[in-house]
Amino acid sequence: MDVVALGESMVTFLPSRAGRLADVPSFDRGIGGAESNVACALAAAGHRTRWVSRVGADGFGDHLVEAIARYGVDTRCVGRDPHRPTGIYFRTADDRDTDAHEVLYYRAGSAASAMAPRSVDRDALDAGRILHLSGITAALSADCLALLRELTAPRPGRPLVSFDVNYRPGLWSGAAVEGPRVLLDLARGADLVFVGEDEAADAWGVTGGPDAIRAALPEPATLVVKQGSRGATIHTHGEPAVFQAALKVDVVAPVGAGDAFAAGFLSATLRGLTAEQRLRHGHLMAAAALTVPGDLATPPARAHTDRLAALDAHAWGTLRLGPGWTDGVPRNTEAKEEART
């Protein structure tokens, strides 16, 4: 495998119209989960990916496994729990940054929350070049936290560990451990860390930009600081920091962009591209997610992405992407060697 992703995915219910959840008459069914989103985006981009998790022995679990597998993700290592349900959640159609946005999670006691060091196939997790994790899993239960602590600890044969901080304060409320401290410890054990500038401020009180975050988190070989609509900065051991401005995007829905950015960055990492190219591929994959209504978008053809990522600084700065931009180049224009990847 190129990438193995571990984490909970849930069935998402998306409103048929805007307004309060109390007023929405019907919902469309989708899927949502930070780690499975990354696996799906990478699989759609031509990489070999696996999703490891647990779901209930119910119809929602069937739907999740089947929907994620349709993206080309290996789901053979997803466990079925006959005693616990598959998690679900509902959300409004409003922007997540507004007070009108509502999200209701029904995930307490879910099948995924029962993941533990003894209940997952360690060989399946270590079978990829990259193991992708997120801080969401650590908040689900004490057993999930114990699993992430083991996976981020040094051990023989460990793949490159990618960790998205994904600080969600609501998940940590009432927890027996302090979420921000736990996330910092887990990040220190990873090889590649994604964290938002706003997350670092909220979780750790670290302000002052990417350099200050790097000073607080010097251990990972690679640290990617996401700076919202401004761009992102990468700090790599032994190399100067690199900043890459984000693209101008006509946003349809501001959901799934962080997971898509991680997928684009990991794809470029697997291909051995430069720091600037890794950031650009992250921005391009995020732009694909931002220009569709749901969390997951069909990525652009690799040849199309490579051409856009190779633009000079002026052209990159003036580029603007809107809905449908990923369909701009037919997929059969890819080079033969790329099509085989």
Active-site residue list: 259
336 Cβ contact partners less than 8 Å away, ≥ 6 residues apart: none
Contact yes or no for 290/257 (Cβ under 8 A): yes
Q: Which sign does the torsion angle of CA 258, 260, 262, 265 carry?
A: negative
Q: Identify which of 239, 232, 294 has the alpha carbon closest to the alpha carbon of residue 265.
A: 232
**3-state SS, residue 62:** helix
- Between strands 160-164 and 130-134, the pairing is parallel
Q: Which two tokens stand for residue 119?
A: 């209940």
Helices 257-270 and 34-44, axial angle in degrees (round to 10): 50
Query: How does strand 242-245 pair with strand 130-134?
Result: unpaired
- Helix residue spans in the chain (DSSP H): 34-44, 59-70, 122-125, 135-138, 142-151, 169-172, 179-189, 197-204, 210-216, 257-270, 275-290, 302-309, 313-318, 336-339
Q: How far apart (Å, rounded) are the C-alpha atoms in residues 65 and 132?
A: 18
Written as six digits, the tokens of 205 are 């009180």
Q: Strand 222-226 vs strand 231-236: parallel, antiparallel, or unpaired?
A: antiparallel
Q: Bridge-partner residues for 90, per DSSP?
A: 13, 104
